[in-house]
Amino acid sequence: VPHWPAEWGGGMSTAEQVVLYQELAAHDAPRLVLAFVGIHHAAATLLAAGTAAQRRRHLPAILDGEIWCQGFSEPDAGSDLAALSTTARKVDGGYVVNGQKVWASGALHSNWCLLLARSDPEAPKRRGISYLLMDMGSPGIDVRPIRQATGESHFCEMFLNDVTIPEANLVGAENAGWQVAQSTLSAERGMTMLELAERLANGFRWLVEECARPRSGTDERPLDDPVVQDRLAVFETELSGLRALCRDVVERVDTGRAGPADASIVKLFYSELLQRMTDFAVDVAGLPTHTVLHKPLSTGWESGAWMLDFIGSWEWTIPGGTSEIQRTIIGERGLGLPREPR
Partner 1 sequence: MTSASAFAELHDELRTVARDLLAKGPTPDRRQIADAGWLGLEVADDLDGAGATFAEVAVVLEELGRAVAPVPFLGTAVLGVGTLNLLAPNPLCDALLRRIATGDRTLAVAGIPFRDRDGVPTRHIPVTEPVGFRVERSADGARLHGTAALVVDAPDADRFLLLADDPDGPDAGPVVVVVHGPDEVPDLTVTPQPLLDATRRVGTVTVDGVAVNEAAVWRFAGDPQAAVRTLHDRAALAVALDSLGVSEAMLAATVAYAGHRHQFGRPIGSFQAVKHACADMLVQVSVARRLVTTAVEAVAAGAPDADRAVAMAKSYATQAAVDVVGKALQLHGGIGYTWESGIHVHLKRAALNRSLFGSPRDHRRRLVPRYLAVAPT
The packing angle between helices 177-212 and 262-285, to 10°, is 30
The residues near 90 (Cβ < 8 Å, ≥ 6 apart) are 119, 174
Minimum CB separation of residue 273 from partner 1 in Å reads 10
Q: Known catalytic residue: 188?
A: yes
Q: Does 15 bind partner 1 (CB under 8 A)?
A: no
Give which of 94, 72, 96 is closest to 84, Cα–Cα.
72
CB of 225 to partner 1, least distance (A): 11
Q: How many residues bind partner 1 (CB under 8 A)?
A: 42
Q: Is 27 an interacting residue with respect to partner 1 (CB under 8 A)? A: no
Handedness of CA 33, 35, 39, 44 (dihedral sign): positive
27/339 with CB nearer partner 1: 339
Confirm or reject binding of residue 251 to partner 1 (CB under 8 A). no
SS3 call for 139: coil
What b-and-e string marks burial along 177-204, b requiring 16 or more CB atoms within 10 Å of the CB? bbbbbeebbbbbbbbbbbbbbbbbbbbb
- Other beta carbons less than 10 A from residue 59's beta carbon: 24
**Amino acid at the residue 9:** G
Position 74: which residue type?
Answer: E
211 touches partner 1 (CB under 8 A): yes
For partner 1, the binding residue among 214, 220, 225, 294 (CB under 8 A) is 214
Among 137, 139, 256, 338, binds partner 1 (CB under 8 A): 338
Binding marks (x or -) toward partner 1, 157..196, rule CB under 8 A?
----------------------------------------
Which residue among 26, 83, 123, 234 contacts partner 1 (CB under 8 A)? 234
Rounded-to-integer distance, Cα 24 and Cα 35, Å = 16
If the CB atoms of residues 319 and 331 are measured against partner 1, the closer one turns out to be 331
- Residues forming the site for partner 1 (CB under 8 A): 205, 208-209, 211-214, 221, 223, 229-230, 232-234, 236-238, 240-242, 244-245, 248, 261, 265, 268-269, 324, 326-328, 330-332, 334-341
The residues annotated as belonging to the active site are 188
